[in-house]
Chains A and B, each alone.
Chain A
């Protein structure tokens, strides 16, 4: 199981700002190891976010997203106590889901 994500959701005006920090290697498939062999690509392909059980965002990522990816998005209407769930899938079939409460 992959390391947990850090998800923070803060009320801003009538909505909320959500910041997510994921722990993932995000290997591009372009780099070579010491023996000159290509290191196979290993990266997050899909990120989804839900607000109180309702899907709000689906992101598709290529290997060009940085290692330990950061993502920011803003909910239009949210209040303190709302639940935000973020999950990712990578190209090896691994996945991880974490949640946060809007503060």
Chain B
């Protein structure tokens, strides 16, 4: 019985591997085609996300403004906004520390746009949220705030 189960498991694994190599698992294939940074979106902590994106250690900065509610009644829709008056911001990230994957969204900005973006994210539980800005001179700055969630937005 045990042996059969092992054999079955092995077969299952190799089939999945084959499908992966042939690009048959649709989600994976499309994600790669779109230039989706799987490693960054799988990372669990701020440090891991920054490492996956090839960035250095972050410093907390008062120049980054993170707009987030103190208490979010519904964790499925938490409005987050980040802005800064610093010049030359090329990328801004939103992270939720205690979500299954920390990184929620990354915005790559061109020079034609203000460093001021916002969106809405899901939060599984009360957690710190981070707004991270990458500047053109390779500084990584962040602001953080704790958002209390009364009803989680993951699982269900």
Contact = CB atoms under 8 A, between A and B. Distances in A.
Interface of A: 15, 28, 30-32, 40-42, 45-46, 51, 54-67, 69-77, 89-93
Please report whether the interface of chain B is mostly helix, strand, loop or mixed according to DSSP: mixed
B100 A30 contact: yes
A70 B117 CA distance: 11
Interface string B30-51: 1101111100110000000000
A69 B94 CA distance: 14
B54 interface: no
B26 A93 contact: yes
B138 interface: no
27 contacts: A32-B155, A45-B30, A45-B36, A46-B35, A55-B110, A56-B109, A57-B108, A57-B110, A57-B113, A60-B35, A60-B37, A60-B105, A60-B106, A60-B108, A63-B101, A64-B103, A65-B119, A66-B77, A66-B78, A66-B120, A66-B153, A69-B119, A72-B118, A73-B107, A91-B27, A92-B30, A93-B26
A61 B36 CA distance: 9
The 3 closest A-B pairs by CB, nearest first: A64-B104, A74-B114, A66-B120
B120 A64 contact: no
B119 A72 contact: yes
Contact of A71 (B26, B41, B99, B119): B119
Interface residues of B, number: 44
A45 B119 CA distance: 14
Contact of A58 (B26, B108, B120): B108
Contact of A72 (B27, B117, B154): B117
Contact of A66 (B26, B27, B40, B76): B76
A28 B104 contact: no
B69 to A, nearest CB: 13
